[in-house]
Structure 1
């Protein structure tokens, strides 16, 4: 739902069909999953509970939802078919919010929640609970008497988390305001028990982002305390190179068991990265840079660069390759840097503006040579190409820095967030 479109009331979503990008029906919406936040902020919508044909209920993250309109929900990407399990920090909107008694802040009058509105934040993929449709007076949703009105989230009391306390639920709500690096720093200083509680309460994408910022020992510890199915889900949500680094720290049997539980495409990318030596371009690269075919336009490239889940280093350039356009690709033709995309008209073909002067790296290139290459040419990312000319991935400057900095660099308290990690 684009910014500026009408908000959606959740009662209108109950039972509506959910379709994949090919137009095939996945199932029907049975509920929505939200997370309460501290500081009076509206709850963040995490995803939808969808009942598939087998009557199994699965979780579809809101990051996979591309459309909520005309009595249907459209998703993108592969849907995880594992059974939905509600976590301690999660609230079911239809099951727990509707028909609940709350109070109006201004008058302290008791009202009943009849419906809840959700809205997507401008220029982001995040969704929030926006408004409540309530009825004054006593009685449930079926009672017809009493004035009805629509109010802002801030106009009612009875839902928000309290600021005090150091339970996992409050910690997760507090961490929601922080960058993954700062959450990782706080988690590192928690006791193992508290660390496991918070990790269990985080959603998969958030936990994946945080794990990527933690020292290896903490990563292994947290992953080992998750149920294997969930551990596989989190590994799928991680960048392939980070997932490969984490799996390389595990015993061979554990690594193979988790790879077998992952989706085949995700597991294949990780297995390929595990086949390279750690301190080489192949071992450092990500297999998911922005790849475009020669007939793509500058407008196509800019649309890909704008994707929110891309790191700045990966969004700084696109790689032009012949089909197939997933790694390993067809013949690598060259790179188009972001600044060049901004200088050319939207209809320009990317094949006409590629930079093919710089020789790409081979997967066997050692770390010192990768570092020198990035420094010499003032790059934040560099392509890795095999002997047949296919693009295998790209090495970004942040992955190189991880191997150049002291081992304890992650323990630096950049933002002074020590107070968050209380209860040690």
Structure 2
């Protein structure tokens, strides 16, 4: 048995059943696993991964192991681990260090355990593992052949490292792949955030005013799903182009200070801190609900809630009621952490199929090809398009192909 740290190893049987269900709904990743299992393209590679420990992540980990890798896994959020999955992976030879409800100390201890293996490949979601390696283990950086980053927040952090010329190994921005961003961020987060909102509150969305902070792919997805269920949706933005897009998409756009007065539910999706602070909270309706779908718990100021309340209590699982000094009551969901992964199960397997196919193929590329210069790289277009074609094939959909004459026409500058 490998070394592991999980909540209850006896939950492994439940986890195996969940993994089988996810595999049934992840045909792209499963076809890739089968294609390369005999070849073992990751033979000899030690992979350190910091990801949400969900059934979909479990399918990725099983694939990396089937390709010959040794995998060490920590959670990328203290509350997102599915304990049955962690237990199942531990029984299958994965060194997994993850429990739902980790303290901050335990969270970083687990990431340190994964970092300490002197990895060859680093797969991260949020860049906590990448950051820890750069801050605490600079001696390891030259050995690391490359890495990947799953989410917008992590890519921002890595580009900051690159800008300061401190990035120690090449990293592929998996988040920015079209088959990740357009589907995982938009359709996956849109559906799973609403799922988390409903599980935490059981409110009727129809007729509510829902304020979505941020109109990137995640914000677009949440806004579309909320509107589709009958909500009036307001968008807040700092980017004029995205704000204009939201207007053209038919949403009301205004400053958060104005939206605060009329919103029933507030969902942040910006990747930045202090999106909702006391200056907004004090203007909110009695009974307003606050939630976050950004990676870190910094978008809604929990500190401001606590400092301006006279009491608080857990009213429902993943819902905390704050009685404010101004006489109003506000509700915070999932401790201000990722609503979709804390109160629900994260993204549906069908979209994570494409995201994790990107992760697997990037790991293969990193390990089998010469080491690149330490930079943040885009996922190659051929990988993106191959994943899209595999997904279409799994859905029984065929598309047209360009004829040689059409290709020649598109490549030509001549008038005829």
TM normalised by structure 2 equals 0.32
Structure with greater strand percent: 1
Computing the radius of gyration from Cα coordinates, the structure with the larger value is 1
TM normalised by structure 1 equals 0.31
